[in-house]
């Protein structure tokens, strides 16, 4: 793991369908300035900038770090652009952490963003490259069959996805940055919405959001001087596997299991449900909560939906998942992973506001991408490891 690393600043924009009040540069700068304010720093104090987002085709700006260097105070500094599909927000945080853990820098600004209103993500995901198969269904069409396979494999009843959709939106009502804040959200409301990709209903899917999130990551000496409590990095891991091959388990991919095992080993965790206080997990479609509960080892195989049904993952349950409202409530795609990592940090810093999990001291941040084949995770804690 190298040198110690801590989160000393977190900044988020309001997540909305359209942020027409700001340019792309204005959007990322808003998040960056809030993270710097939290850390008691200015751009001058930052050694390097790491930026991440999902495919450039989403906004039509190619290699946008070139254009965003000025807005993020990167002139005269190193700047890196990360891209690992939907997991990119998580990977971006890990690359920034790696620079601190390698002893290269003391303070790294990490920013991830998406401005979905500038374009159409489903269109950008459905191109016809020559000589390659094309999916042409966007993300929902791709993941729905995997959810069906999960339901068939475990015998999960139909209403489990609905429960997650309601729970995460109830949490979102406590998060001022959340995009979907639906007063009176209920099972009846979710069940009355149209079926988009069987079994995923409209309110069981994530929104398309504009937004950015940022963090300041610091070395131990820099963290000791931060005005607010730090979140210490207890473990980091990335895993990837190929998208198509015979025998691949797309419901509970091996890369997710391996990534979790790696990050738990570093953090000294053997029973994640008991030893973690909360988790921010990438759940873009409601059913991915029970699926990831199993993949991440919070319960045995086939037990995920029972855990969800029992209320264990609610804000008042024994292992709250996505107290922030999660990806189901805010989805600026490239930033969604970083938001998970940042919300995990806010929880263990005790700065999560109304959606604070009482006494949270250790939390998991998780992101996945591509055909559920790219994973990025970290465990953060209140105590220095």
| Choice between 229 and 385, CB closer to another protein | 385
| Choice between 36 and 72, CB closer to another protein | 72
Q: Tell me whether the omega of the peptide bond preceding residue 48 falls within 30 degrees of 0, making it cis.
A: no
131 binds another protein (CB under 8 A): yes
By CB under 8 A, the residues from 147 to 166 that bind another protein are none
In a 13 Å sphere around the CA of 22, the CA atoms on its Cβ side amount to 22
Cα 268 to chain centroid, rounded: 22
| Choice between 91 and 209, CB closer to another protein | 91
CB of 52 to another protein, least distance (A): 9
38 binds another protein (CB under 8 A): no
242 binds another protein (CB under 8 A): yes
Calpha distance 165→216 (Å, rounded):
31
Q: By the 8 A CB rule, do 336 and 205 touch?
A: no
Q: By the 8 A CB rule, do 90 and 365 touch?
A: yes
Among 186, 193, 221, 254, binds another protein (CB under 8 A): 254
- Angle CA(7)–CA(9)–CA(15) in degrees, nearest 5? 115
85 binds another protein (CB under 8 A): yes
Sign of the CA dihedral running 245, 249, 250, 253: negative
CB of 333 to another protein, least distance (A): 11
Among 61, 149, 189, 351, binds another protein (CB under 8 A): 61
Q: Residue 368: name the closest of 221, 272, 229, 251 by CA.
A: 251
- Angle CA(148)–CA(308)–CA(198) in degrees, nearest 5? 25
| Choice between 80 and 351, CB closer to another protein | 80
| Choice between 77 and 153, CB closer to another protein | 77
Calpha distance 298→313 (Å, rounded):
10
Calpha distance 200→144 (Å, rounded):
7
The token duo for 190 is 């979710």
Q: Which stretch, 38-46, 82-90, 174-182, 302-310, contacts another protein (CB under 8 A)?
A: 82-90
56 binds another protein (CB under 8 A): yes
Helices 333-349 and 88-101: crossing angle in degrees, nearest 10, is: 60
By CB under 8 A, the residues from 200 to 239 that bind another protein are 237-239
Q: Which stretch, 96-104, 149-157, 166-174, 206-214, contacts another protein (CB under 8 A)?
A: 96-104
Q: What is the CB neighbour count within 10 angstroms for residue 200?
A: 22
CB of 314 to another protein, least distance (A): 31
CB of 25 to another protein, least distance (A): 8
145 binds another protein (CB under 8 A): no
The token duo for 274 is 């008991």
308 binds another protein (CB under 8 A): no
125 binds another protein (CB under 8 A): yes
Say how many residues touch another protein, by CB under 8 A: 66
Q: By the 8 A CB rule, do 238 and 98 touch?
A: no
245 binds another protein (CB under 8 A): yes
Calpha distance 39→363 (Å, rounded):
20
CB of 139 to another protein, least distance (A): 11
Q: By the 8 A CB rule, do 278 and 363 touch?
A: yes
CB of 131 to another protein, least distance (A): 6
The token duo for 90 is 């998580």
Length of the chain equals: 385
| Choice between 171 and 219, CB closer to another protein | 219
80 binds another protein (CB under 8 A): yes
Chain residues binding another protein by CB under 8 A are: 1-3, 23-24, 54-57, 59-63, 65-70, 74-85, 91, 94-95, 98-99, 101-104, 124-125, 127-129, 131-132, 237-243, 245, 253-255, 258-259, 262, 370-371, 373-374
């Amino acid at each position: 793991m190298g040198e110690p690393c801590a989160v000393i600043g977190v900044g988020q924009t309001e997540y909305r369908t359209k942020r027409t009040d700001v340019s792309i540069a204005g959007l990322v700068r808003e998040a960056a300035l809030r993270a710097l304010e939290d850390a008691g720093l200015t751009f001058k104090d930052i050694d390097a900038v790491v930026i991440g987002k999902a495919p450039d085709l989403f906004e039509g700006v190619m290699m946008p770090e070139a254009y965003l260097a000025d807005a993020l105070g990167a002139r005269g500094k190193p700047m890196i652009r990360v891209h690992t599909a939907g997991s990119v927000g998580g990977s971006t945080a890990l690359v920034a952490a790696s620079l601190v853990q390698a002893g290269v820098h003391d303070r790294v600004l990490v920013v991830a963003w998406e401005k979905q209103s500038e374009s159409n993500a489903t269109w950008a995901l459905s191109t016809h490259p020559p000589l390659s198969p094309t999916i042409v269904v966007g993300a929902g069409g791709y993941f729905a069959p995997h959810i069906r396979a999960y339901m068939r494999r475990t015998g999960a009843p139909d209403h489990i996805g609905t429960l997650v959709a309601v729970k995460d939106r109830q949490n979102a009502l406590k998060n001022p940055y959340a995009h979907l804040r639906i007063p009176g959200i209920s099972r009846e409301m979710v069940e009355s919405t149209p079926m988009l990709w069987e079994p995923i209903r409209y309110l069981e899917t994530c929104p398309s959001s504009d937004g950015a999130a940022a963090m300041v990551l610091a070395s131990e000496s820099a963290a000791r001087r931060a005005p607010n409590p730090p979140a210490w990095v207890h473990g980091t891991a990335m895993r990837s596997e190929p998208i198509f091959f015979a025998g691949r388990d797309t419901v509970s991919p091996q890369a997710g299991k391996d990534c979790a095992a790696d990050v738990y080993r570093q953090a000294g965790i053997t029973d994640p449900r008991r030893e973690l206080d909360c988790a921010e997990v990438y759940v873009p479609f409601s059913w991915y909560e029970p699926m990831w509960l199993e993949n991440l080892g919070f319960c045995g195989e086939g037990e995920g939906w029972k855990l969800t049904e029992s209320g264990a993952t609610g804000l008042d349950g024994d292992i709250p998942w996505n107290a922030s409202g999660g990806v189901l409530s805010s989805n600026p795609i490239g930033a969604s992973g970083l938001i998970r990592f940042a919300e995990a940090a806010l929880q263990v810093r005790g700065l999560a506001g109304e959606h604070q999990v009482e006494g949270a001291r250790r939390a998991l941040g998780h992101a996945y991408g591509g055909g559920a084949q790219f994973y990025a995770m970290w465990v953060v804690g209140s105590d220095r490891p």
